[in-house]
Amino acid sequence: MKILIASNNSHKINEIKQIVAEKISTPIEFISPKSLNLTIDPEETGKTFAENAEIKAIAFYKAAKIPVIADDSGLEVGALNGLPGVNSARFAEAHNDAANRKKLLELLENSENRSARFYTVITFYDGEKVLFFDGECKGEIIREEKGNAGFGYDPIFVPLGGTKTFAELSEKEKNKISHRYNAIANFCDNFLKNNL
Ligand code: IMP
């Protein structure tokens, strides 16, 4: 069995492959859209992470006709009623991480409540069933950026129980506790293991 990872981000594809390989030994082969010469990039018009992940999974399934997993992630901030949420990548300006962080810090300037979580939904679709697996990483938004690693909101997010931001952790350290790790682990434990 092959599963297509519905993402054009090679970094994300490698991360998913690596986490699955660490967790279980499976004959299932994970492949990229690039390996099938697929260049689709569906518009993420959903109001929730699950809706967006499903939109991507269905679009890639229609193109490839093999089982697909798609993911959608973002940051939810308690004091902002869950914003930036599905708009995480374009909170201030599309794909401008620095501007998005700046906007968030400004909105929280007078807030004592700094709680937040990163959240990921993975959708599996095989032409018949649509399944959802989620994962979160709770933490808080600090007042100033720290660290140079990672991307997005990493420099202002400190995971619960930690002292360093995601941007001060190595990729390996972050990937052991991240929302994406937890969602992929959930997919392995509650789906892959039963379908080997
Ligand atoms: P995506 O769905 O994984 O592409 O994530 C959408 C947006 O959420 C990204 O552009 C980031 O702004 C934010 N985001 C998701 N995961 C992370 C993370 O691990 N660190 C920092 N920001 C993230």
Q: When comparing pLDDT for 47 and 14, which is higher?
A: 47
Q: pLDDT per residue over 83-109, tens digit each? A: 999 999 999 999 899 999 999 999 999
Q: pLDDT per residue over 99-148, tens digit each? A: 999 999 999 999 999 999 999 999 999 999 999 999 999 999 999 999 99
| Residue 26: per-residue pLDDT | 86
Centroid of ligand 1 to alpha carbon of 127 (angstroms): 27
Tokens of 137: 């990483």
Partnered with residue 71 across adjacent β-strands are: 122
Q: Render 24-43 in DSSP notation, one character per residue.
A: ---SPEEE-TGGGT------
Centroid of ligand 1 to alpha carbon of 31 (angstroms): 22
In this structure, what are the phi and psi dihedrals at residue 114, rounded to the nearest 5 degrees?
Answer: -110, 10
| Residue 1: per-residue pLDDT | 87
Centroid of ligand 1 to alpha carbon of 153 (angstroms): 7
Is the distance from the beta carbon of residue 84 to the nearest atom of ligand 1 less than 6 Å? Answer: no
- CA distance readout (Å), 178 to 36, 135, 152: 29, 8, 13
Is the distance from the beta carbon of residue 88 to the nearest atom of ligand 1 less than 6 Å? Answer: yes
- Which ligand 1 atom is at minimum distance from the Cα of 179? 19
| Residue 13: per-residue pLDDT | 92
Residues 182 and 190: their CA atoms lie apart, in Å, by 12
Q: pLDDT per residue over 22-55, tens digit each? A: 888 888 999 999 999 999 999 999 999 999 999 9
Is the distance from the beta carbon of residue 72 to the nearest atom of ligand 1 less than 6 Å? Answer: yes
- Which ligand 1 atom is at minimum distance from the Cα of 72? 2
| Residue 168: per-residue pLDDT | 98
Centroid of ligand 1 to alpha carbon of 171 (angstroms): 14
Positions marked active-site: 72
Q: How confident is the model at residue 193 (pLDDT cuts 50, 70, 90)?
A: confident
Is the distance from the beta carbon of residue 15 to the nearest atom of ligand 1 less than 6 Å? Answer: no
Q: Whole-prediction pTM value?
A: 0.95
- Residue 80 sits at the vertex; the CA angle it makes with 93 and 187, to the nearest 5 degrees, is 80
- Which ligand 1 atom is at minimum distance from the Cα of 174? 19
3-class secondary structure, 163: coil
Residues 42 and 55: their CA atoms lie apart, in Å, by 7
- Give all domains of the chain, ordered by start, each with its CATH number: 2-195 (3.90.950.10)
Residues 160 and 74: their CA atoms lie apart, in Å, by 17
- Which ligand 1 atom is at minimum distance from the Cα of 166? 20
- CA distance readout (Å), 77 to 51, 69, 104: 20, 26, 9
Residue 179 has pLDDT above 80, yes or no: yes
